[in-house]
Amino acid sequence: MSARLAVLACYPVKSCAGMALDAATVGARGLAGDRSWMLVDAEGRFVTGRQEGRLVQVSARPGPDGLELAAPGMPTLRIRLPDGSARSTVTVWRDTVDAADAGDAAAEWFSHFLGRTVRLVHADAAMQRPVDPDHAQPGDEVGFADGYPVLLLSRAAVDELSDRVGRPMDWRRFRPNLLIEGVPAHAEDSWRRVRIGAVEFDVVKPCVRCVFTTVDPDSGERDGAGEPLRTLASYRRGPKGVTFGQNLIARGSGTIAVGDAVVVLD
């Protein structure tokens, strides 16, 4: 089997449930709408599934003018894209950026669901967040993803990990945008540039993994044995941490779709 794009996934709100797509537009910040919304605490610091595993139970469906939110025990909420007039200074890891506040209704909805005070913010066009220059070109930018616009993982790597753990590990635990079939496990580690459909990508850096991988993507509960991170650490630990998958930056824009060939250019 030749390499192909098997799954295409978008995560509109950082750490909330993902959406499987048939096709997506790719631009400077990655897949259109991917991780363009994020929760922050009272100090403006990002709130993710690392602290709040229940976020994976929140469904966020983007529309042309806003977002529809649903979660267990919560009424469906539809919010409009903020006009950008209300802004918040927020922190994502070491980056401090100016984001659009999504309003009180969204803040109250998420605060009630999580049982703590949070607000929802949006990475609008006015927000600027450069990619780490050590792994990027001038002008590269990212939304609220941890550090890079696109995440790629091979299905074979997930299958190998499942074998090592001794039970199936759902690929959704790793939150890739692109799940690739038809290549050996971790083939992506040796790639430097790929083309998917008509879009070329630089493969810039391995993805360092954290405790969020231990959160069940359906229940939001952490694995009592610390899996799969515990097993990953036994064979995927490097000088920068435990890695699994690769971060990508698109070079150009276009549409990619499930079934597209994945061509290794370098």
CATH code: domain 4-31+132-264 is: 2.40.33.20
Task: Give the pLDDT score at 64.
Answer: 86
Q: What is the pLDDT of residues 25-38, one digit of tens each?
A: 999 999 999 999 99
> 């753990």: which residue's tokens?
165
Residues of the chain with CATH 2.40.33.20: 4-31+132-264
Task: Give the pLDDT score at 9.
Answer: 98
**Nearest CA-CA partner of 263 in 156, 177, 182, 157:** 182
Q: Which portions of the chain are predicted below pLDDT 70?
A: none
Tokens at residue 39, please?
Answer: 């929760």
DSSP for 7-73 reads: EEEE-SBTTS--EEESEEEEETTEETTTT-EEEE-TTSBEE-TTT-GGGGG-EEEEETTEEEEE-TT
Task: Give the pLDDT score at 33.
Answer: 96
pTM of the model as a whole: 0.96
